[in-house]
Each structure stands twice: as structure tokens, then as C-alpha cells.
Homo-oligomer: A and B are copies of this chain.
Amino acid sequence: MALRVGVIGGGQLARMMVPAAVELGLDIRVLAEGPGMSAAIAATAEGDYHDVDTVLAFARDVDVVTFDHEHVPQDVLRALVDAGVAVRPGPEPLAVAQDKITMRTRLSELGLPVPDWAAVQDPDELQAFLDDHGGRAVVKTARGGYDGKGVRVVSDPADVSDWFIAVAEAGGGQALLVEELVPFTRELAQSVARRPSGEVVAWPLVETVQRDGVCAEVFAPAPDSAGRIADMAEDIAVRIATELGVTGVLAVELFQTDDERILINELAMRPHNTGHWTIDGATTSQFEQHLRAVLDLPLGATGTHAPAAVMINVLGGPADGDLAARYPGALEAFPEAKYHFYGKAPRPGRKIGHVTVVGDDVDDVTYRARAAAAHFDD
């Protein structure tokens, strides 16, 4: 019988696990939030992942449970573990990914490079941090943020007064995370995969360009990063994966500072937008690797097909909503581009797909990837 992987969540990351599972002969099953999700083709159940009974029933028929996202509550994760289900990544590492203050605390304990930060419970504490950091800082909600949501640059505690009210109402000692505004020259991302037996492999370090807090472009490998920067990034990601006991893919978003340091920005314990280029550009994609890792199978080679790969997100899509009408023009103009769409309806700002081009020259590849992706915009 085929090995069975259960994925909680039916978004595009679950969807992109499907090709890898089909190729490798795995039986992939998705617990989707409802009908018509990106990963609908593999959905064997629909339900609320906050509900212990729903998730336990889904998990009964699989060999391992993994995730499309990091939002499954700890009580559900613990119930799975108590029922003898293999949950990968497990509740402990996921707790670090689920709460930015926990994440900063653990990384600081490990001595890893992070921006200056503090957990603040009221405007006075935030004002004190601002006073110490030039009057401006980044405030983040500890939970629930993604793609720029839950993140604000502030110069006055009043800029996040709504969040302080929510924190106070929630009680239980909750807080906001405040961080120094890092003077970065660029953003990088390092992905690794780790399996329970301890094996860890890394893909090349990539450069990422964010727009409005959303990943827009990825360059693999990161230009001018051979040597010390790449070594530091890989060491950081391997160390986090190992020390936190992550299983599956771990993506570490990094800042490169103008004094050539790197600082950890965010973590994701799942395949990540900054690794989509691996589908077309690497021997083993992050999605195949994640499946291998959570099944504790030996990990695949992470070499690249060509010197450069560039991934451009398709954000929003055509205003008339007619994505299919854009295929002929794009495919004809750039037959070498790899087009990926997630079964999502176009909507302003929404990640509905991405385009990757691989080749020998990064400038040429960048031009072609951007131009191919632009066929799907207005």
C-alpha cells in the first residue's frame, strides 16, 4: 500500500504538494476548509481544523499529518500526538512558528542573530522602545499575521492603539512584538529540510523582493552571495531546524544589513513562497522534499538545473477575472517559462500563481520571468 500523507489545510501549498505526491507514488489526502479550495483535487475531507474530532477523524487514515499552514491550535496538535498520530512538524516547533514573541525568545536564547526586539503590553513600553531606537520601529501582532498583515511601522504608540486594546481585552499576559527597523540592503531566504532521523539538507540561499509586505520576486541563488553570507544563512537555518526539532521544510527569511550582517526576520515551518522556484529549478522541489521529510524518507538532492532561476508571483490577476484568456499570449511569448496557477479566482493583491524561468544569465532570466508574469496582470 502506498504511504499516506494527510495535509491539514487546502491552500496552494497543499495543492503544490499534490504533483510531488503523485510522482512519488504517495497517497496524499487533504483536510480542506470547504469546497473549491486550491487543493480540492486531493481533498478527502472538509471541516474546521480547530475542531479536535474533525482532525482526529481525518488523521485516522494516514501515516503522517502535516500542514498547509501553521494555524492548527496547540490543543488539536496535542490531541493528535496523544492519539499516536505522527505530526510533523510537531507541536513544539510549531509553537515557535505560531507566536512571534515565542519565536524571538527562542532564537535569542539560541544566540542567533535577530533584530533588537521587545514584548510590549502597553503604549508606555512601546514608547520606551521607540525612544531607544530613533523614534521608529516595527510592531507586529504575535499571532495570525501573514503577507504583511499584522505588521505596522510606527513612530507613535497611538498607531497601534487598536492592537493594544485587543491585547488588553484578550488578557492572559498577551503582548505585541516590537522590533528595530533594520537598515537592510536586501532580503534573503534560506530553506532547509529536516527529517526526524536528523538528516538536514539546504537549497541555495535566495534573494527576495517584497512589495507591500508580500513576496513578489525571488532570485535563486541570491546574486553575489557565495561564500560568507551563504554560509552564515545556511548555518542559521540548519541550527534552527536542528535546535527546534523541525521536521519538514523550514524557510528562514533574513535581512542582509548594510554592514554585511544577516538577521532573522521570520520563520515558516512548511514549504514557502520563497522556495517555489525549486519546482522548476532544483533536482528536488521543496514540496517533494517536505513529503519525504515528514515521512522520514531520505532527502533528495538540492542541486540546480541552471545557474539562475527567477520566480515572479502573479498577484491579483486580470481585472476581468478571465485568467484563461491570458494563457495563449503568455505561453506563446515565453515557451520556456513555467506557469503555475493555484485554482484561485483573480482578486486584487491575491496570490493566484507564479511564473519561474531558469537559465544561464540572471538578467535575461529576470526579464523573461517578469514579462511572462506580466501577461497575467492588467
Contacts and interface: CB of A to CB of B under 8 A. Distances in A.
A301 B340 contact: no
A29 to B, nearest CB: 10
Interface stretch (A85-93, A136-144, A224-232, A329-337): A329-337
A19 interface: yes
Interface stretch (A171-179, A210-218, A241-249, A291-299): A291-299
Interface string A292-320: 10000111110101100000000000000
A18 B22 contact: yes
B22 A331 contact: no
A324 B19 contact: no
B301 A339 contact: no
Nearest to A2: B343
A300 B300 CA distance: 27
B328 A24 contact: no
Interface residues of A, number: 43
A342 interface: yes
A161 interface: no
Contact of A41 (B24, B42, B306, B323): B42
Contact of A3 (B298, B324, B332, B335): B324
Contacts of A3: 324, 327
A300 B334 CA distance: 8
A343 B22 CA distance: 8
A351 interface: no
A321 to B, nearest CB: 9
A323 B22 contact: no
A100 interface: no
B298 A332 contact: yes
Contacts of A332: 298
A15 interface: yes
Contacts of A19: 18-20, 22-23
B24 A340 contact: yes
Contacts of A22: 15-16, 18-19, 41
A338 interface: yes
Nearest to A40: B27
A1 interface: yes
A336 B288 CA distance: 12
A196 B105 CA distance: 60
Nearest to A332: B298
A25 interface: yes
Nearest to A23: B340
Contacts of A23: 16, 19, 279, 338-340
6 contacts: A2-B324, A23-B340, A24-B339, A25-B339, A28-B41, A303-B336
Interface of A: 1-3, 15-16, 18-20, 22-25, 27-28, 41-42, 279, 283-284, 292, 297-301, 303, 305-306, 323-324, 327-328, 331-332, 335-336, 338-343, 353
